[in-house]
Every structure is written in C-alpha cells, then in structure tokens.
Structure 1
C-alpha cells in the first residue's frame, strides 16, 4: 500500500502548497484553522465565517473563497495596528 501524501491527511498542508483541487468540508475548515467544528457552524449561522454553499444536504466551501476570507481578516488586523 502506498503511503498517503501529506495533502490527503492534512488540509493545511494542501493550502500551503497551493489551493486544493476539491471543495472543502466543514471538517476541513475546522482542521485548517485549528478551531472546533462547532465554531465553523456558528460562523455560518452568524454569517461571520468563510462563505459556504450547499450541494443537497452537504455543506462545502470553495478554497478560493476561504483564502480570500482569511486575507480580509489579516488585512483588517494590519489596518487596526
């Protein structure tokens, strides 16, 4: 059996090397940002987190939109300093 590539085991490793070639799950977002899964769902409810969308009953996030959302947070921090 071939060993797993780091990108398959850790979504953060994928994003460091470039955007993943798939939509992210809430679990991926929680792992990427090192926050509890409940936080990701609370952000969605408050419309405070990265924009997500539904495919049937499944919630997904576009990696490009997640990256843009993170950039807005870091820019806001920079502007506040």
Structure 2
C-alpha cells in the first residue's frame, strides 16, 4: 500500500509551492498541444456528419414524443385538439 501523504499534499505543503510564471505556463501549454493527435480533414468530416445525424434523430424522437404526449393529454383531459 502506498503512502497517501505523498500523493495528496497537505494545505501547508500547497502554500510552499511556487506558482508557475505566465511564460512557463504558456510554454507548457504549447508543449502539451504538440502532443495532441489532431484528426485529418476526412475524420473531421466523418465526425461532423455522425454528430449531425445523431442530433437530428434525437430531435425527431423528442418532437415525436412531445407531440404524442401533448395529444394524449388533450384526449385525457378533454381539451381542444388542434
């Protein structure tokens, strides 16, 4: 079993840590972004189409359920059915 004190710094240990300067932070961000595997144009187009189709299907399901439950409520409670 590992020592939990080493994994989570106490509040006193956090205070002794020095803040990262802005230029250092920027360099670290740029270094991390260079490690990212960016999608190709074809992958991006495929992902966009998949997401678009999914959203359209979910909109259709939601609209259908809304219409169906609305008509059901008008039928149950005897309101005017438009």
Structure exhibiting the larger radius of gyration computed from Cα positions? 2
**Higher-helix-fraction structure:** 2
Question: Normalized against structure 2, the TM-score is what?
Answer: 0.25
